[in-house]
């Protein structure tokens, strides 16, 4: 399955964890120096928090910046995830109702809705697995140790005397396929000392820079964890009359060159 773009990369980073497994047949690049204990402490805390969640939901504000046009575009939306591989993401422009995008994973396929094109593209998940879809990879509850192989992660801020609310990490991709999605990112996680007393290490803010210089900033709010009543029925595919439904091209076999 082809990648679903930088917006989705930012979403999964905010909605789950920075860990993911290598794709079969695609070797990792040389690993960075071992993470320092501060990085390991926060990654372990993040893994523990997200691993304990059966489902997770939040609302968000999204701002997109283009280096050519200085006025940022503003969006809002919501995300709902449920283990093992269910997810729903909705992004809506604050000024243009036609500028709408959504992603839905029902465990068998990922459906990409594009409002301006009025298309629904289905990406099959082979055997119910993640394939090469970042969203499902990140939602899989993978181990923090794998993050050290795929990303270079450093601590930007974790001093409660400076800011008791957030732990800020810098995330830089090591693999060529991830560098196609983003080249640099900052993620603010809720610190164990956050004054709102929300669960530590839930995602709060994600800033992302894309290879073309575009930037995205995601601010998550109204976190909801382990809600009762959330089930597979919340992730059922819904057709839209008048929209074109299409199937995405099959992915290349493991180890084959990517287009």
Nearest to 81 by CA among 224, 239, 248: 224
Q: What is the mean pLDDT of each run of 10 residues along the chain (259 residues)?
A: 44 38 41 71 87 90 90 93 86 93 88 95 68 45 71 93 96 87 90 94 89 92 94 95 91 53
Give this prediction's pTM: 0.81
Q: For residues 103 and 1, give the distance between their C-alpha atoms in angstroms, rounded to a whole number.
A: 14
Q: Is residue 96 included in any domain, yes or no?
A: yes
Q: For residues 147 and 21, give the distance between their C-alpha atoms in angstroms, rounded to a whole number.
A: 8
Q: In sequence order, which residues have a C-beta less than 8 Å from that of residue 179 and are 6 or more positions away?
A: 173, 211
Residue 54's domain is classified under what CATH number?
2.50.20.10
Q: Is residue 254 included in any domain, yes or no?
A: no
146: part of which helix (H) or strand (E)?
Answer: helix 144-150
Range of the domain at 107: 6-22+30-247
Q: In sequence order, which residues have a C-beta less than 8 Å from that of residue 118 and are 6 or more positions away?
A: 240, 242, 243, 244
Q: How many domains does the chain have?
A: 1
Whether omega before 84 lies within 30 degrees of 0, making that bond cis, reads: yes
- The 10s digit of each residue's pLDDT in 97-134 is 889 999 898 888 889 999 999 999 998 876 544 444 44
Q: Is residue 157 included in any domain, yes or no?
A: yes
């Amino acid at each position: 399955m082809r990648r679903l773009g930088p917006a989705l990369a930012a979403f999964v980073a905010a909605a789950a964890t920075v860990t993911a497994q290598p794709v079969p047949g695609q070797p990792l690049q040389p690993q960075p120096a071992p993470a320092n204990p501060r990085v390991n402490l926060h990654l372990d805390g993040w893994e523990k928090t997200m691993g304990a969640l059966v489902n997770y939901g939040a609302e968000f504000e999204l701002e997109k910046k283009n280096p050519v046009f200085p006025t940022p575009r503003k969006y809002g939306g919501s995300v709902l995830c449920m283990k093992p591989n269910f997810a729903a993401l909705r992004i809506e422009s604050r000024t243009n109702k036609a500028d709408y995008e959504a992603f839905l994973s029902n465990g068998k396929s990922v459906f990409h809705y594009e409002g301006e094109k009025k298309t629904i593209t289905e990406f099959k998940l082979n055997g119910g697995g993640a394939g090469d879809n970042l969203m499902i990879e990140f939602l899989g509850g993978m181990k923090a140790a794998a993050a050290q192989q795929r990303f270079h992660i450093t601590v930007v801020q974790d001093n409660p005397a400076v800011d008791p609310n957030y732990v800020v990490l810098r995330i830089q991709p090591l693999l060529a396929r991830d560098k196609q999605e983003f080249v640099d990112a900052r993620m603010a996680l809720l610190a164990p000392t956050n004054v709102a007393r929300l669960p530590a290490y839930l995602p709060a803010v994600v800033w992302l820079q894309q290879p073309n210089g575009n930037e995205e900033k995601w601010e998550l709010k109204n976190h909801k964890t382990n809600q009762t009543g959330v089930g597979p029925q919340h992730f059922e595919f819904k057709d839209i009359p008048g929209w074109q439904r299409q199937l995405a091209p099959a992915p290349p076999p493991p180890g084959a060159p990517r287009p």
